Amino acid sequence: MATRATKPRQPKGRVQHPQRRQAPPRQPRWLYAAAAAGLVAIAVAVALVASRGGGSGKASTGLPETPDYHSLLVSPTDPQSLLLGTHQGLYASSDGGRTWRFDALSGNDAMNLARPGSKTIWLAGHQVFKKSTDAGVSWQDVRPSGLPGLDIHGFAADPSDQSTLYAAIAGQGLYRSRDGARSFAAVSKDVGGNVMALAVMRDGRVLAGDLRQGLLVSRDSGRSWSEVLAAQVMGIAVSPGDPKRVLAAGDGIALSTDGGRTWRPVLDLPEGAGPVAWAPSDSRIAYAVGFDRMLYRSADGGESWQPVGEDTEG
């Protein structure tokens, strides 16, 4: 999930980092440590100029004119078919993001999109939790037990077990379902309340972009955490075809090629970036939404990026 408008609430707890360096506020660039930890990024400036709402169904060139871009999915079979979650519903593109049309769920704040299976899509956001079992043709409300509310700022599905889901509830904590969202139980009160991005690795590790604590990793299903990147991360994506490749978006885009252990910058975006997604059918292709109202595309596994435009090759 990514947004410019949502302000983080004060966390109830905090992961302990005995040797963590404190970052000065509002630095506009990714900073890099000389130590083996590699990249250190601090203070994302997430500024997106608010614009008019959409919903007409007409195709428009460039990103839709909506106040916020939250989430992004790529079709499991077509790297040119994209689904963009916004504050005002879902938009679709069939040409790699050159043009967009309003798709569904007008007025729903699609802060998170997750697709653990070919037909199943989860949508979670501010007071909305829905599931589609027909690839987005229709949607059903989900009302599980165990959640303290439906202000879901981070959401992820386990790629190795589609019945295992994680939900970060704003101001509350991290919750996990083992039964396909019929019920949830709290797994952490220290992490989750300020999480804006979640991803589950194929080996079970959970990555969380916490606005106050950095990019964190858990190796025990969310019970304990350690920092892997000192950055305000607004988007995380693990490549389905090459799970060692992971993207983190904030004040630009960072790439890990060792499963999230070390990171390096691949694109600097002064206005920041949020939603990122890989193409499941082609591990070379990835997309990122910049808060400069530009969609960026990589065709070499996240190593280099170009703005999507009419002259971009498919």
Long-range Cβ contact pairs of 93-100 (< 8 A, separation 24 or more) = 95/314, 96/297, 96/308, 96/312, 96/314, 97/63, 97/287, 97/295, 97/297, 97/308, 98/61, 98/308, 98/309, 98/310, 98/312, 99/59, 99/60, 99/61, 99/62, 100/59, 100/60, 100/62, 100/63, 100/64
Q: Which residue, 248, 273, 251, is CA-closest to 27? A: 251
The phi-psi region of residue 88 (left if phi > 0; otherwise alpha if psi is between -120 and 50; otherwise beta) is alpha
314 assigned to some structural domain: no
Average pLDDT of the segment spanning 78-90:
96
- Whether the per-residue pLDDT at 275 is higher than 50: the answer is yes
pLDDT at 29: 37
Higher pLDDT, 259 or 309: 259
pLDDT of residue 47: 31
Output the six-digit token pair for 23: 């970052």
Neighbours of 311 (CB within 10 A): 8
- For residues 176 and 1, the model is more confident at 176
Best CA proximity match to 205, nearest among 241, 243, 249: 243
Question: pLDDT for 94-123, tens place per residue?
Answer: 999 999 999 999 999 999 999 998 899 999
Task: Categorize the per-residue pLDDT at 38 as very low, low, confident or very high, splitting at 50, 70 and 90.
Answer: very low
Percent of the chain clearing pLDDT 90 (strictly above)? 76
Q: Is residue 23 part of a domain?
A: no
Is 70 buried (19+), middle (13-18) or exposed (0-12) by CB count in 10 A?
A: buried
Nearest alpha carbon to residue 56 among 8, 100, 14: 100
Q: Tens digits of per-residue pLDDT, 219-265?
A: 999 999 999 999 999 999 999 999 999 999 999 999 999 999 999 99
pLDDT at residue 41 tops 80: no
Please tell me the total count of domains within the chain. 1
Whether residue 60 lies inside any domain: the answer is: yes
Residue 24 has pLDDT above 70, yes or no: no
What SS3 state is found at 42?
Answer: coil
| pLDDT reading at 6 higher than 80 | no
User: What is the span of the domain harbouring residue 246?
Assistant: 30-307
- Does the pLDDT at position 311 exceed 80? no
For the ranges 39-48, 178-187, 203-212, the lowest mean pLDDT is seen at: 39-48
Instruction: State the burial class of residue 147 (Cβ atoms within 10 Å of its Cβ: 0-12, 13-18, 19+).
Output: buried
* Domain annotation covers residue 6: no
What the block records as the tokens of 133 is: 């079992």
Average pLDDT over residues 22-35: 32
The confidence score (pLDDT) of residue 263 equals 96
pLDDT for residue 313: 52
Angle of CA points 101, 114, 164, to nearest 5°:
165
pLDDT higher at 206 or 8: 206
pLDDT confidence bin for 67, thresholds 50/70/90:
confident
Range 286-313 average pLDDT? 89
> The domain spanning residue 169 has which CATH number?
2.130.10.10
Strand partners, 130: 123, 141
Q: Which residue in the block uniquely carries the two structure tokens 């596994």?
A: 301
Q: What are 270's two structure tokens?
A: 């002064």
Q: What is the pLDDT of residue 26?
A: 32
Tokens of 256: 């890990």
Q: What is the pLDDT of residue 135?
A: 94
Q: What percentage of the chain's residues is helix, strand, coil (to nearest 5)? A: 0, 40, 60
Is 135 among the domain residues?
A: yes
What number is the average pLDDT over the span 291-302? 96
CB 288 within 8 A of CB 295: yes
pLDDT tens across 185-230, in order?
A: 999 999 999 999 999 999 999 999 999 999 999 999 999 999 999 9
